[in-house]
Structure 1
């Protein structure tokens, strides 16, 4: 695939967008990539593709943000810092799912990872984040490799996450063989080479959150009935 630079892809940030996710096995991904390789450019940073990511998620002591996801609230948030290893950038990010099913991401640059919020400026965070910010604490982490594909003609950005490993403190669960594809568009359209190939393999959109599955697996005392079906599907892929 032809490459695209980090500076070039910034014009396709799509910080306000519609997201559609799919889960599949790496063998299915290989089939798809053979057929769509001529339609996209792939992000390459310092000669590296795919990129490496490390993420830590935060929540309140009573897990208010996790519970908002589990309870299916129309407006919900994730707070995290993400280390974009190959570009040597760390961002503190808030992802908001609006009541119109759009994803809006706001973020600020960090000079280093943070583990508490007491001394941080949080004025940039969206007013809809109705939590006691100083009380936020790290709850789970993940690391993975990501291919990022870009199609400026269709205003489409696609991420493909591979080699996912989730964890809490010193414990971790690797998920070999699992791929998570996320199609990001201003307005979802099946007029997309990637969407057509996923449809051809009879793969359907799936509500999957790396944060939520991590929380369900590492905090079994929390209610997680809503996530049991997706946990079973994921295990069927990475344990096969």
Structure 2
């Protein structure tokens, strides 16, 4: 992503003006080699988050689910009012959070989080109470389900009403297996308003890229857990496997 050097930087403190914990999301995913041209089109419209001189920042996420993968199944079956529960480490800032994402039947994503020890796959008493109070799931029945790692670029609209994330170098880990989707870029436009006013939305449209859901958790589980029903995700899996031909799997 050579073009990211031409963006004006913004600090984490400044970016926090645009928290958007209750937001509308619009996702896109496509070949990463298209990314530089898209960034060139929007470089004057956005700041880029920079921490300690780093702009492309590493993230690590551990997901939790029930023994029967209830959260995966809810998403697979198209259920609205669904949840994801995860521990995420923001490696540059060395911060970790236990996060609960709730997508309601209006399409809004609401996120709650508390600080956590991301090295532990267990929940403290405070974390158990947080999960029990903020979701329909009981912490005692949740277990580690998937890990992913990726690098993230965060753009902030200069009007401070929109935040966009661009994820690359995505890897999944489960049950001793690793899967790399290194040539895919995942773009998410996060706003309180209609994303169609977004300069990035317009640039993506110019490249004939259409919004399409991409749940890292569900795609990762579908690729690495052969015991799960995954019919609803097969079109995406076929696109990944046959069109992009970027999957690298190691055991």
TM-score normalised to structure 2 length: 0.91
In the alignment, the residues of structure 2 paired with residue 138 and residue 68 of structure 1 have an alpha-carbon distance, to the nearest angstrom, of: 17
User: In 1, are the aligned partners of 2:97 and 2:114 still within 8 Å (CA)?
Assistant: yes
Q: How far is the alpha carbon of 1:35 from its aligned partner?
A: 1.1
Matches within 5 A, 1:52-67: 52-67=58-73
Cα distance per residue 1:81-120 (max 9 Å; x no partner): 0010001000000000011110000000014432123644
- Find the counterpart in structure 2 of residue 8 from structure 1: 14
SS in 1 for 2:128: coil
In the alignment, the residues of structure 2 paired with residue 43 and residue 64 of structure 1 have an alpha-carbon distance, to the nearest angstrom, of: 35
User: In 1, are the aligned partners of 2:32 and 2:185 still within 8 Å (CA)?
Assistant: yes
Q: How far is the alpha carbon of 1:188 from its aligned partner?
A: 2.2
- Find the counterpart in structure 2 of residue 237 from structure 1: 244
Q: Structure 1: where are the runs of 5+ without partners?
A: none
- Find the counterpart in structure 1 of residue 209 from structure 2: 203
Q: How far is the alpha carbon of 1:125 from its aligned partner?
A: 3.9
Q: How far is the alpha carbon of 1:41 from its aligned partner?
A: 0.4
In the alignment, the residues of structure 2 paired with residue 127 and residue 103 of structure 1 have an alpha-carbon distance, to the nearest angstrom, of: 18
- Find the counterpart in structure 1 of residue 192 from structure 2: 186
Rate the CA distance shift 1:84–1:128 in 2: closer, same or farther, 3 A.
closer
In the alignment, the residues of structure 1 paired with residue 124 and residue 160 of structure 2 have an alpha-carbon distance, to the nearest angstrom, of: 42
- Find the counterpart in structure 2 of residue 122 from structure 1: 128
In the alignment, the residues of structure 2 paired with residue 70 and residue 42 of structure 1 have an alpha-carbon distance, to the nearest angstrom, of: 34
Q: Which residue among 135, 148, 172 is the counterpart of 1:142? A: 148
- Find the counterpart in structure 1 of residue 170 from structure 2: 164
In the alignment, the residues of structure 1 paired with residue 172 and residue 194 of structure 2 have an alpha-carbon distance, to the nearest angstrom, of: 29
Q: Which runs of 4+ in 1 moved over 6 A?
A: none
Q: Which residue among 208, 222, 226 is the counterpart of 2:228? A: 222
Structure 2 residue 56 is matched with structure 1 residue 47 = no
- Find the counterpart in structure 1 of residue 4 from structure 2: none
Q: How far is the alpha carbon of 1:128 from its aligned partner?
A: 6.0
Q: CA RMSD of the aligned region, Å?
A: 1.6
User: In 2, are the aligned partners of 1:21 and 1:207 still within 8 Å (CA)?
Assistant: yes
More deviation in 163-172 or 202-211? 163-172
Rate the CA distance shift 1:52–1:159 in 2: closer, same or farther, 3 A.
same
TM-score normalised to structure 1 length: 0.95
In the alignment, the residues of structure 1 paired with residue 173 and residue 28 of structure 2 have an alpha-carbon distance, to the nearest angstrom, of: 22
Equivalent residue pairs, number: 240
Q: How far is the alpha carbon of 1:17 from its aligned partner?
A: 0.2
